[in-house]
């Protein structure tokens, strides 16, 4: 009598190289690395390119890397800036895919598995996801940056960069490696535009899979006049656009950026209002019915779960160079 044998299908995960530049981020980098180690997708390498930190950053990375051979530390005895740090890590990358995570940001556990699956199922080579914002203490700010279905070179040029650096994955096996243009600010945006010259479109997975930490000195808190200067350098010196085209693109970009900033403010106000209303409702009900305190507590947890589920957010959770690394 024949015994039927079930065939086991072995799914081989392709290697993902994660690029992490680091400079004086001892307060945050352990948490960032831990979020990589917690990935359900296991076949990755994390390349931390330290840019001559003067705090405990290097010691922290060495300590973690000693127990995890997937983590590699690149050191230098001279400070070269974030673009050079990223490029050293990209040069060392061995992966079929290249992903980016700054040393103060956080990935959700299924970030890589969801995104790589999305890319392989749809045949996409350049992707990004939605993300949320947290403050320096790691607290949710009530702001979610959604991922447009897709963007191309022209839309990014005139409407700005909707792509969060911490969310990007591109197919290096197919597209090859791309290196970051050496400009002081917005070098991530410059890299996306560079990739767009070889890849017609980037595609968004509109699920919140990462947390972006807003720190003092970030571009988001930089004055508009300085931002215009950075974009002018990018469009004229890197993209080689004419004066007229650069001016038109920057004017359009500033307009769309103001719309996005208004949307973020509305999100914050709405989130604060909802939180206050929920707290007020709970306190009123407890005062009227003390015996229901436990039930109300559980109800609050349900409310939190439903709200965060809607946004795909789990319920739990300077010197000049410092500013460059906080730019994002």
Cα 224 off chain centre by = 22
> Within a domain: residue 175?
yes
> Within a domain: residue 245?
no
Domain membership of residue 60 as a residue range: 16-240+318-325
Please give the share of the chain, as a percent, with pLDDT higher than 70. Answer: 77
- Report, as an integer, the average pLDDT of 280-306: 38
Is pLDDT above 80 for 156?
Answer: yes
Residues 218-246 have pLDDT tens digits of: 544 456 678 788 889 899 999 999 999 98
Assign 159 a pLDDT band (cuts: 50, 70, 90): confident
Residues 106-150 have pLDDT tens digits of: 999 999 999 999 999 999 999 999 999 999 999 999 899 999 999
> Within a domain: residue 3?
no
- pLDDT at residue 222, rounded to an integer: 54
> Within a domain: residue 56?
yes
> Within a domain: residue 35?
yes
- Report, as an integer, the average pLDDT of 244-260: 84
- pLDDT at residue 7, rounded to an integer: 53
Task: Give the chain's domain count.
Answer: 1
Q: Is 225 exposed, middle or buried (0-12, 13-18, 19+ CB in 10 A)?
A: exposed
Is pLDDT above 60 for 287?
Answer: no
- pLDDT at residue 172, rounded to an integer: 98
> Within a domain: residue 181?
yes
Q: Which of 56-70, 210-224, 270-284 has the lowest mean pLDDT?
A: 270-284
What are the b/e assignments for 14-49, b being 16+ CB within 10 Å? ebbbbbbbbbbbbebbbbbbebbeebebebbbbbbb
> Within a domain: residue 134?
yes
CA distance 271 to 224: 26
- pLDDT at residue 5, rounded to an integer: 52
User: Which CATH number does the domain housing residue 143 bear?
Assistant: 3.90.550.10
Is pLDDT above 50 for 207?
Answer: yes
Nearest Cα to Cα of residue 65 among 88, 86, 87, 49: 49
> Within a domain: residue 106?
yes
Assign 76 a pLDDT band (cuts: 50, 70, 90): very high
Is pLDDT above 80 for 310?
Answer: no
């Amino acid at each position: 009598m024949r015994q039927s044998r079930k065939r086991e299908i072995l799914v081989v995960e392709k290697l993902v190289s994660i690029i992490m530049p680091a400079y004086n981020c001892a307060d945050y980098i352990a948490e960032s690395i831990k979020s990589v180690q917690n990935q359900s997708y296991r076949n990755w390498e994390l390349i931390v390119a330290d840019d001559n930190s003067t705090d405990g950053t290097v010691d922290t990375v060495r300590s973690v890397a000693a127990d995890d051979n997937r983590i590699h530390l690149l050191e230098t005895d001279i400070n070269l800036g974030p673009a050079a740090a990223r490029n050293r890590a990209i040069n060392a990358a061995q992966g079929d895919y290249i992903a980016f995570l700054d040393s103060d940001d956080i990935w959700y556990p299924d970030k890589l598995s969801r995104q790589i699956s999305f890319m392989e199922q749809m045949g996409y080579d350049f992707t990004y996801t939605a993300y949320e914002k947290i403050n320096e203490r790691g607290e949710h700010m009530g702001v979610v940056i959604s991922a447009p279905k897709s963007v191309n070179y022209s839309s990014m040029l005139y409407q700005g960069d909707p792509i969060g650096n911490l969310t990007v994955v591109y197919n290096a096996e197919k597209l090859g490696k791309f290196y970051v243009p050496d400009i002081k600010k917005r070098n991530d945006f410059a890299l996306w535009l560079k990739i767009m010259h070889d890849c017609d479109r980037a595609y968004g997975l509109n699920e919140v899979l990462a947390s972006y930490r807003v720190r003092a000195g970030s571009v988001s808190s930089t004055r508009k006049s300085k931002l215009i200067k950075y974009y002018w350098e990018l469009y004229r010196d890197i993209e080689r656009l004419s004066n007229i085209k650069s001016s038109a693109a920057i004017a359009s970009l500033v307009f769309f950026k103001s719309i996005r900033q208004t949307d973020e403010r509305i999100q914050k106000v709405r989130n604060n209002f909802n939180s206050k209303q929920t707290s007020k409702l709970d306190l009123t009900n407890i005062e009227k019915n003390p015996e229901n305190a436990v039930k109300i507590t559980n109800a609050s947890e349900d409310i939190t779960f439903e709200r965060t589920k809607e946004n795909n957010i789990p319920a739990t959770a300077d010197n000049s160079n410092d500013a460059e690394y906080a730019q994002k």
